[in-house]
């Protein structure tokens, strides 16, 4: 990290990670979405190597951050056809560590305290994923996504008006196009509006909100179902 002044810093970050094969990866056996899968006992973890370069501002009234990143992915687990074998008419597949790719993108957020008890927050993110082995997009990459909110907070009360939005995602992998959870032409963009608030008294917090006020018919890219329409939610929480 490099300190530019009392409020601004530049930072560089590198980290590694892995995802170990789960029970489904190792032991899937039977018919799955028009194919027959057989177990694989020798799978290795998927690995990631992530690089980030960013800027962070911390002021009395304005806090903000922005960064770019690239995540290199190796030993990705994918389904591979086993020769020309078939069982009960279904093609046979097994999972192997055979693919590599990357995800790169930008993210940013800002929070502004512009009056007593009032604050505005905004965030934006964009990602681009590529499967280098298949020379096609990585599966289920989210589109451009944004969030904007206006909040009031004073003593025991808090209220917020929030808007969430996503752009269309039509950059699809072959696996996305054949996935019945994803429209083969892509996932349409959407915008929704929420309003919610809470009141805290000693150890008791009451929360209530009106969600999807615009009654938009939408889904997150890769989700198997559309989000709920216009609805009300409420809760009562006791904090020990």
DSSP line for 6-66: SSEEEEEEEEEEEE---HHHHH--EE-SSSEE---S-PPPEEEEEEEEEEEEE-SSEEEEE
Tens-place pLDDT, residues 13-28: 999 999 999 988 888 8
- Taken in order of first residue, the domains within the chain and their CATH numbers are 2-15+48-74+100-238 (2.40.170.20)
pLDDT band at 29 (very low <50, low <70, confident <90, very high): confident
**What confidence tens digit (pLDDT) does each residue in 125-152 have?**
999 999 999 999 999 999 999 999 999 9
pTM for the model stands at 0.84
71-110 pLDDT per residue, tens: 999 999 988 888 777 777 788 888 999 999 999 999 999 9
């Amino acid at each position: 990290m490099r300190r530019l002044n009392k409020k601004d810093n530049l930072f560089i970050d590198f980290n590694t990670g892995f995802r170990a094969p789960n029970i489904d990866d190792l032991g899937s056996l039977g018919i799955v979405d028009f194919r027959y899968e057989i177990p694989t006992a020798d799978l290795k973890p998927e690995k990631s190597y992530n690089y980030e370069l960013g800027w962070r501002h911390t002021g009395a009234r304005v806090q903000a951050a922005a960064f770019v990143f690239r995540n290199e992915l190796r030993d990705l687990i994918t389904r591979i056809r086993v020769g020309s074998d078939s069982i009960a008419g279904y093609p046979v597949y097994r999972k192997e560590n055979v693919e590599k790719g990357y995800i790169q993108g930008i993210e940013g957020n800002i929070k502004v305290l512009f009056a007593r008890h009032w604050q505005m927050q905004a965030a934006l993110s964009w990602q681009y994923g590529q499967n280098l082995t298949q020379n096609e997009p990585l599966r289920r990459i989210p589109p451009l996504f944004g969030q904007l909110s206006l909040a009031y907070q004073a003593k025991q009360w808090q209220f917020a008006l929030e808007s969430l939005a996503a752009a269309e995602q039509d950059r699809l992998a072959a696996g996305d196009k054949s996935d019945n959870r994803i429209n083969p032409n892509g996932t349409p963009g959407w915008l929704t509006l929420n309003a919610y608030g809470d009141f805290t008294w000693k150890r008791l917090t009451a929360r209530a909100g009106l969600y999807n006020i615009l009654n938009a018919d939408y889904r997150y890219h890769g989700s198997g179902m559309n989000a709920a329409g216009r609805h009300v939610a409420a809760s009562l929480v006791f904090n020990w």
